[in-house]
């Protein structure tokens, strides 16, 4: 890691540490859905049914990036982010404005033209951001993944994407990638079998190359509140335990936070309760592709729209609605959820929770 990357990592670490002792004046993490367009047909999510119109264009996103220059961590999401032909310019806009930006993450369903996607990822890697992390969505072994995602051949496309990214890592040390596995009633009990089947295709893949989440309901984001995803807590608690036992110990901040996230995920699954208070509208926020700003990806309580604040977050950050949301969080009245999008900043903002 060069000096600039080390300084940016230290900046992110110090800000996260500071969030343990004070409410931050500005968020360091932005979760941003850049489009609700998606070619998947997932059983767990209804985003694919949305035909988005009026999403923020590149000029607006660039304006937003230039007026809000304090992000150290940007989690791009969708829909399928690579359906936006301007994805490289979007990342570049944040890279140009947020000088301390350390990490950009984004998922892919592996359904876009892979030469195009790998070309765009290569351009993003060459923007000089210290860490770029790609999550390849994978919810099961071949037949199961294709059924949950509603697209025949999707598993093989995900394997192809993983091979391409593994190759790309040889020339780009700032690339990190994992498989993102969402547990639901559709794949309960199949996690370890999926990992074994992936290893038949990709012998280098290990348990640590998988990130697991539990499918959740949201009327504002996934728009899946009418779906029944809920798995049997006993089944997924058991497979989560087995998954944790097979994880290899790794040094570093990210493996430590990931380990703590998984432990707390077990608590969430067993009890149906959030393990701790979130850091929404403190360390982080969620913005959708229309510029609506929410406390988090799972909490559809809009605090405003950046189109109404000349693309500046500050007026929204301090408005009455935002104060209300913070007060509800202080009273422990935020919606129950435990997703990686929100959990990482919550864990590092409650530093003791990383070790218990």
HSE toward the beta carbon, residue 44, CA cutoff 13 A: 25
HSE toward the beta carbon, residue 291, CA cutoff 13 A: 24
Min CB(192)–ligand SF4 separation in Å? 22
Closer CB to ligand SF4, 47 or 293, in the complex: 47
Mention every residue, 6+ apart, whose C-beta is less than 8 A from residue 158. Answer: 110, 136, 137, 138, 145, 179
Min CB(184)–ligand SF4 separation in Å? 10
Closer CB to ligand SF4, 109 or 190, in the complex: 109
Binding of ligand SF4 at residue 81 (CB under 6 A)?
Answer: no
Binding of ligand SF4 at residue 183 (CB under 6 A)?
Answer: no
- Are the CB atoms for 218 and 175 separated by under 8 Å? no
Residues 46, 51, 54, 56, Cα dihedral to 10° = 50
User: Which of 79, 81, 130, 266 is the binder for ligand SF4 (CB under 6 A)?
Assistant: 79
- Residues 129-168: x where in contact with ligand SF4 by CB under 6 A, - otherwise, as a string: --------x-------------------------------
Helix (H, G, I), strand (E, B) or coil at 77: strand
Euclidean distance between the first and final Cα of the chain, in Å?
30
DSSP H stretches of helix in 110-173: 114-125, 142-149, 154-169
User: Which of 27, 78, 300, 349 is the binder for ligand SF4 (CB under 6 A)?
Assistant: 78
Segment holding 293, helix H or strand E: strand 292-294
Binding of ligand SF4 at residue 187 (CB under 6 A)?
Answer: no
Min CB(329)–ligand SF4 separation in Å? 26
User: Which of 35, 109, 110, 346 is the binder for ligand SF4 (CB under 6 A)?
Assistant: 109
Closer CB to ligand SF4, 47 or 101, in the complex: 47
Binding of ligand SF4 at residue 184 (CB under 6 A)?
Answer: no
User: Which of 8, 9, 19, 48 is the binder for ligand SF4 (CB under 6 A)?
Assistant: 48
Binding of ligand SF4 at residue 284 (CB under 6 A)?
Answer: no
User: Which of 12, 30, 34, 42 is the binder for ligand SF4 (CB under 6 A)?
Assistant: 42
Written as six digits, the tokens of 321 are 């609605």
Nearest-Å Rg of the Cα atoms of the chain is 19
Using the contact rule CB under 6 A, the part of the chain among 8-16, 37-45, 200-208, 313-321 near ligand SF4 is: 37-45
Closer CB to ligand SF4, 79 or 140, in the complex: 79
> Which CA distances in Å does 28 have to 75, 99, 113, 131, 294?
11, 12, 33, 16, 15
Binding of ligand SF4 at residue 47 (CB under 6 A)?
Answer: yes
- Are the CB atoms for 278 and 329 separated by under 8 Å? yes
Binding of ligand SF4 at residue 45 (CB under 6 A)?
Answer: yes
**DSSP letter string, 232-286:** PHHHHHHHHHHHHHHPPP--SHHHHHHHHHHHHHHHHHHHSS-SS---BTTTEEE
Residues forming contacts to ligand SF4 in the complex (CB under 6 A) are 38, 40, 42, 45, 47-48, 78-80, 109, 137
């Amino acid at each position: 890691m060069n000096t600039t990357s080390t300084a940016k990592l230290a900046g992110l670490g110090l800000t996260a540490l500071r969030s343990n002792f004070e409410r931050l004046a500005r968020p360091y993490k932005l979760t941003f859905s850049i489009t609700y367009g998606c070619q998947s047909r997932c059983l767990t999510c209804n985003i694919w049914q949305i035909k988005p119109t009026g999403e923020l264009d590149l000029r607006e996103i660039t304006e937003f990036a230039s007026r809000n220059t304090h992000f150290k961590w940007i989690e791009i999401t969708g829909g399928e982010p690579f359906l936006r032909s301007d994805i490289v310019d979007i990342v570049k806009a944040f890279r140009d404005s947020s000088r301390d930006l350390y990490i950009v993450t984004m998922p892919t369903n592996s359904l876009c033209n892979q030469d195009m996607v790998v070309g765009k990822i290569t351009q993003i890697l060459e923007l000089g951001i210290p860490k770029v992390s790609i999550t390849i969505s994978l919810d099961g072994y071949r037949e199961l993944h294709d059924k949950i995602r509603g697209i025949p051949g999707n598993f093989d496309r995900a394997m192809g994407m993983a091979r391409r990214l593994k190759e790309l890592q040889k020339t780009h040390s700032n690339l990190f990638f994992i498989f993102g596995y969402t547990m639901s009633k559709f794949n309960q009990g199949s996690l370890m079998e999926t990992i074994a089947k992936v290893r038949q295709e990709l012998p280098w893949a290990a348990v640590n190359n998988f990130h697991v989440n539990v499918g959740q309901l949201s009327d504002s984001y996934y728009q899946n509140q009418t779906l029944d995803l809920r798995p049997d807590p006993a089944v997924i608690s058991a497979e989560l335990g087995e998954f944790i036992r097979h994880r290899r110990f790794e040094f570093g901040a990210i493996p430590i936070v990931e380990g703590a996230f998984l432990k707390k995920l077990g608590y969430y699954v067993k009890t149906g309760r959030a393990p701790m208070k979130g850091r929404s509208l403190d360390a982080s926020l969620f913005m959708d592709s229309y510029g609506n700003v929410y406390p988090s990806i799972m909490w559809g309580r809009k605090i405003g729209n950046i189109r109404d604040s000349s693309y500046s977050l500050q007026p929204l950050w301090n408005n009455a609605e935002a104060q209300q949301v913070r007060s509800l969080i202080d009273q422990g009245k935020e919606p129950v959820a435990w997703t990686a999008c929100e959990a990482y900043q919550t864990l590092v903002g409650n530093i003791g929770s990383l070790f218990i």
